[in-house]
Structure 1
Amino acid sequence: MSHDPLLNIKGRGALSNERARFEEWARESDPEYQNLDENGALVETKIRTTVWLQEAKSIISRNTSPDIPFDYSINPFQGCEHGCIYCFARPTHAYIGLSPGLDFESKVFAKVNSADLLRKELSSKSYAPKVIVLGANTDPYQPAERELRITRGILEILEEFNNPVSITTKSGLVVRDSDILGRMAAKGLARVFVSVTSLRNEISRTLEPRASVPKRRLDAVKKLSDSGIPVGVLVAPVIPAITDEELEAIVAAAANAGATTAAYILLRLPLEVADLFKEWLSIHYPQRAKHVLSILSQMRGGNLYDSRFGKRMRGTGVFADLLRDRFHLACKKNFINLERKDLRLDLFSLPNTGSQQMSLF
């Protein structure tokens, strides 16, 4: 790992550019070239975000994982400026020769032809209508979306075809599209999940530095709910000995804001994410680091990560069972998850025809 303990980075989750598993060369910095002031103190380093406009070849991803409750997803962006240190999508940057570390959150690729590709794919005779998930990998409402409006363009196409959509985000920007989502929700075609990891700004500031602050996310839940849009909260990820103590408080805050559903996911540390997270722990929680990793390994059968379907989201063992029981009790107490309706598939139709697409079988 390219660890640089002298680097003082503002507004970033990762503290280094972790070497990607496909790279032949490691990166190391020379302490002699650190940016120090006249007193020898480290000067704060700022890393600017670069967004490349990319022409994608296809836009709908097909999922075959048995423990993920959807088949289709769209990711308008590759990489994510939110910089969540725990993001399981970080290793995907290794496939394009970039680091899952700082590169992932500062070098973002925007699929500017998403709407055109989506229209083409939905119009195909072979397309079978299913719920399309936005935000399965990277956040569809990260900062670049404010100007590029790629996600909004996707929603416009989905509304045109009456294709149901489910959104997961950490950004209050989702409220901007309440007009489209409200119309779709009235037909049973839309729902939104807002991810809330912690209610404390001091944790969120380093854990997910460029995502919306916790209050703004809960405000988004309320505004979406007030607009008639079904909204839920994901307590994700739950980090042992750092955020798990907030589980009940997050569920209660979500219910008070108007959320009707909730779910949780245990911290996942696949591939390069493990070293990046351990580095983050060593800087921000040095006295707690060993304890956090110990509990996590007990929930993963002695390892930091267990990739088995059905186990990777929840973990196993005493701590995992306790977390599950606490979550269910919190939901029961706050009248969450009492009823969840499936989004409608029967309204799908090709624009300007008024006819619904026939079933393939």
Structure 2
Amino acid sequence: MPTISKKGHDMPASPIRKLVPYAEEAIKNGKSIYHLNIGQPDIKTPEVALNAVKKNDIEILSYSRSEGSDTYRKKLAKYYNGHNINVTYEDIIVTTGASEALLFLFSSTMDPGDEVIISEPFYANYIAFSTASGVKVVPAVCDINDNFALPSVKAFEKLITPKTKAILICNPGNPTGYLYSKEEIEQLAALAVKHDLFLVADEVYREFVYDGHKHHSIMEETNIDEHAVVIDSVSKRYSMCGARVGCLVTKNKLVRETFLKFAQARLSPPTYAQIASEAALDTPQSYFDEVIAEYVGRRDLLIKELNTIKGIKVAKPKGAFYCIVELPIKNADHFAKWLLEEFHINNETVMVAPADGFYSTPGIGANQIRIAYVLDKESLIKAVYILKEALKVYKD
């Protein structure tokens, strides 16, 4: 019998999506599920983006350029300029989601056996991208007891070896909601220059920053043009996850030229989705003001309700719409399955994402879950109540 590749064997299942069969079975059995497991916003997509597709009169749905359409990239560059990021459209390559941008970047800048340092816990698919590229993830472990703050510069620098090629951060963070300060960005930029590394920032949640804080992009640093790479996406910003449009932004010409070869091999990003994404850039600031106010309200309510549960620990996010919760159990993976298979209150249950899949360090996060507060407040209250009651009867 033919065998699969070692790479295929090592590829991890998504901690976010691997429980879907259990959820589908629960629904077949008549249960309703509160989905706390996936970052699919319930916020409506801006009408201007939807109408750009609905009212379009295209007669031939043709390829776009492999870099993405010039009109979209020029408008995107204007958006970045408005956020103190001085780039031109030529610094941007449009991708099929931020996932493709990260995968192509790994392949463009790292060889098998090279290392990338990532603050942990991190977006689970970073492991998938590194596995697909043969790259080793070196975690900079952050602690829930410190609200997942970045380790000291000295501790971070100790992780750098001759095989280190890049530092990767998500800012604000998925799954923690951690927001990197301007000082932390400056420290990481200095490390990247000192050790001749790439500094990669996944900034897909840049609009979602709370409590008067400000997002500081690595592209605002003036001395790291050859080192800085930003990954971005329309998925969360405009509640357009299904559009699958992202981009890479960098002033490093060699990285762009190399990246483009991978982009050419997949031909082009989706045309209609680029049309919608271009139109979405006309979304007024009032849309984001309302969305941010809604997420702040949900976050505060969620943390208040969670803190009524005996034995739990929760980190307060400053951005994005996720939080990590430590439960008084041993195995969150088993607990998540049990919730779907065996527990319900009036045929209602919850679906969570076990957090161990957001760590690469063995044994860490086994008793943690990630919650995405992308449900309305009434649903969040009900979901936390179900969690609270479930923990009273659950046996490890």
TM-score normalized by the length of structure 2: 0.28
TM-score normalized by the length of structure 1: 0.30
Which structure would you say has the larger RCO, counting Cα contacts within 8 Å and 6 or more residues apart?
2
Would you tell me which structure has more helix in proportion to its own residues? 2
